[in-house]
Amino acid sequence: MKLKTSIIGFLVASGGFASAATLLTQNLEVQLLDPSGATAVPATVMVGFIDTTTADITSFDGISAGFTSLGSFTATYAGTYTGVWAGESIGFTDAAGAAGKNVFYFISTGDAYALFEDTSVQFLADAAIPNSNASSATTAKFDSGAFVTYAGTYSSSGGADVAGSLTLAPVPEPSIAILGSLGVLGMAVRRRRA
């Protein structure tokens, strides 16, 4: 009886070690371009999720505030490709609240960004067997509509050896926003006087 209890205790303890889920991101066949659309750029890729019904997905600040990152990696220049990655693993647990949510990619270079969603892949729960799945960021998925782009602009034509491209959106500078708001304020004051 003691031996049986020990074996059950070991199995329960072993199950605790394997209680994390994994998402494998792979096969990016889409070139990342700067906002001008002329230069291929490396970028940081954050993998996670965002609630598109409540978060402000129209601005960099809104996306930054609402995005829950489960992990990140660098998409670097590799020969004639840029932003290519393969086999990057993102580990997470149920505590992250990701189970059942679609996979999102938030890409940033510091002064440019993009956000897209893989509607064909959801994060799995820890209890799922096997508890890993894969999201392949390929041109075919963009072209089929499986990827929804919220920030940045996708094009089915890319650079050398690249089937498609994603032009990143510029991050607005605070000074430009301030000048813009001053201009709007000036117009409102002028209109009120008239």
Decide if 136 is inside a domain. yes
Decide if 7 is inside a domain. no
Decide if 130 is inside a domain. yes
Decide if 10 is inside a domain. no
Decide if 9 is inside a domain. no
Distance from C-alpha of 96 to C-alpha of 46, rounded to nearest angstrom: 15
Decide if 122 is inside a domain. yes
Distance from C-alpha of 76 to C-alpha of 172, rounded to nearest angstrom: 24
For residue 42, pLDDT over 60 is answered with yes
pTM of the model: 0.75
Contacts of residues 169-177 at CB distance under 8 Å and 24 or more positions apart, as own/partner, are 169/35, 169/60, 169/112, 169/113, 169/114, 170/35, 170/111, 170/112, 171/60, 171/108, 171/110, 171/111, 171/112, 171/113, 172/59, 172/60
Domain count, the chain: 1
Distance from C-alpha of 156 to C-alpha of 90, rounded to nearest angstrom: 27
pLDDT in tens, 115-128: 999 999 898 888 88
Quote the pLDDT of residue 10. 31
Question: In this predicted model, which residue has the larger pLDDT, 20 or 146?
Answer: 146
Decide if 1 is inside a domain. no
Quote the pLDDT of residue 12. 36
If we measure between CA atoms, which residue out of 146, 149, 141, 98 comes closest to residue 120? Answer: 146
Quote the pLDDT of residue 77. 55
Decide if 3 is inside a domain. no
The answer to whether the beta carbons of residues 40 and 31 sit under 8 Å apart is yes
- Domain of 83? 21-193
Quote the pLDDT of residue 16. 42
CA 84 centroid distance within chain = 14
